[in-house]
Amino acid sequence: MSRIAVIIDELFEDSEYTEPVKAFKENGHQIIHVGLETGKTVTGKKEQTPVVIDRDLDSVSADEFDALLIPGGFSPDKLRANEKAVLFTKAFVEKEKPVFSICHGPQLLITADVLKGRKITGWTSIIQDIKNAGAEFIDREVVEDKNIISSRNPGDLPAFIAASLAKLK
């Protein structure tokens, strides 16, 4: 069983949260929602899925978790403006813990400055940002580069979930 942190804020892409989390839970893993304010409910941008933040960024450390999920939508744009969210994300990459990034997820990794020389995919609008960050953008449903697993959009979810589950103990 792994303890998986989901870093999340308002306007996340609903299915990029709900589907991986459902699969992780069904496989016996534990989900902890990490965000800007403990107890706050954040909502998805299409279906208004409610998510209650379990732990805020002031009190968490990557050491408490085995992996990190970064759902897409506009949530990563909001989180990357917060230095603690950026440092929390950076720690997972540097400690070589699995990081599952989909859609706009790489925005957090770009601000964390951990993509130089890495292979990654993501949403169309951020392709230039990914390249400018020194990463190699790959247009494929799932890209695995050591501890970083990434996908482009909700259509890639089956491949994203399968690759992510395979990475968990």
Catalytic positions: 103-104
Find out whether 107 and 137 touch, Cβ atoms under 8 Å: no
With DSSP H G I counted as helix, E B as strand and the rest as coil, what are the percentages for the chain, rounded to 5?
35, 25, 40
Report the alpha-carbon distance of residue 6 to residue 136 in Å, rounded.
Answer: 25
- 111 counts as binding its own copies under rule CB under 8 A: yes
Report the alpha-carbon distance of residue 153 to residue 13 in Å, rounded.
Answer: 9
- 36 counts as binding its own copies under rule CB under 8 A: no
- 43 counts as binding its own copies under rule CB under 8 A: no
Binding positions for its own copies, 74-93, rule CB under 8 A? 74, 77-78, 80-81
- 133 counts as binding its own copies under rule CB under 8 A: yes
Report the alpha-carbon distance of residue 44 to residue 35 in Å, rounded.
Answer: 14
- 125 counts as binding its own copies under rule CB under 8 A: yes
Find out whether 39 and 104 touch, Cβ atoms under 8 Å: no
Find out whether 33 and 54 touch, Cβ atoms under 8 Å: yes
Query: Which member of 19, 129, 136, 144 binds its own copies (CB under 8 A)?
Result: 129
Nearer to its own copies among residue 77 and residue 141 (C-beta): 77
* Least gap, CB of 49 to its own copies (angstroms): 18
Using CB under 8 A as the criterion, which residues of the chain lie in contact with its own copies when the complex forms?
74, 77-78, 80-81, 107, 110-111, 113, 123-125, 127-129, 132-134
